[in-house]
Structure 1
């Protein structure tokens, strides 16, 4: 809900500034978030929520893995920004009750087994 509030605020800000292109971007994000919230409420189950959470962390897991590869390529030297980013990612994983290794091999394309269009229709 916080995400939705922030995106609607951004949408309204861009609309009042007559920035149609970025308004449309925010409008799409608002629509996707509303569909997600509606779908999660209507079809609530622990498995569905777990699927959503894992899907939400795919980018962070991929970024963390890339940083680990870069660090290994430099012989273990960790740049300050990498250290901060990895700590931030680790905090997010911990707050969700996940470990980055939980996403090893995770390949679900559409969380909950349906794409956005199918979620919108149910």
Structure 2
């Protein structure tokens, strides 16, 4: 497609620069640029126009959901770049990683299913909470003498109404829709094994919920006496985060392109995505060193 020609060139590194990374074990200067490039790829392809001749016919609301999720991934990647560039906020980038992972998964799952019911379940999943809040507000109003409506309630009800109208669903359709499958079920639908769920979702939950492993990793230190002290503001983003997130985002963009664009037109784009993935995996292989050799 002509749009590919408008993309910036991918990062280039000399043999000397790569050798320096291998010697130091620090591949962050390289991974940082590739991470940035993948974020650019994500936002670029999320801006493909629904009216483009290469794009198959798709519901406007389905298109909005997929492009919105990809935009979310790209924006959160940008936030991670801003946070991590000075060697801090590693405790925060892992939180954003979890959000990016779930957005990528939803893109993959929705494109895999590709039916109206799945997109409706996605919409209804968020709007059921809105309807519950709406009922609570309306109940509070009904209990007041004369049914007085507070300004804050009026604003909240208007916001809920706007969200529901934008989805194009009735309240009955929302309440009767099946819930979205959980992350584990989505991953099974996509053919992934349990390891992906444990690593990406369950371990990621530590950082969201503040479990003991999360405290030990980012917020506490064990001192020489075996006691605990508060950790300083010095948490770095791990190199692996700059591998896994770009690979997940590339997978989501690949699913989106495969769903949105006719096979022949999509082939060139998928080839580009595959080449980026191969480059990141190559860097990861160099970075991993002896990690996957026998420990005996």
Do both share a fold (TM > 0.5)?
yes
- 1:69–1:8: structure 2 CA closer, same or farther, 3 Å change rule? farther
Corresponding residue number in structure 1 for 2:168: 97
Q: CA deviation at 1:101?
A: 4.4
- 1:82–1:43: structure 2 CA closer, same or farther, 3 Å change rule? same
| CA distances 1:50-93 after superposition (whole Å, capped 9, x unpaired) | 11111121221122122112212223111111111111110110
Distance in 2 (alpha carbons) for counterparts of 1:27 and 1:99? 33
Corresponding residue number in structure 2 for 1:11: 80
| CA distances 1:78-114 after superposition (whole Å, capped 9, x unpaired) | 111111111111011011112334444x4844x1xx3
Q: Which runs of 5+ in 2 are unaligned?
A: 1-69, 191-296
What TM-score do the two structures reach when normalised by structure 1?
0.81
Corresponding residue number in structure 2 for 1:37: 107
Q: Which has the larger radius of gyration?
A: 2
Give the number of the structure whose residues are more often helix, by fraction: 1
Q: CA deviation at 1:116?
A: 0.5
Corresponding residue number in structure 1 for 2:131: 61
Which range moved further: 28-37 or 73-82?
73-82
Q: Which runs of 5+ in 1 are unaligned?
A: none
Aligned residues: 118
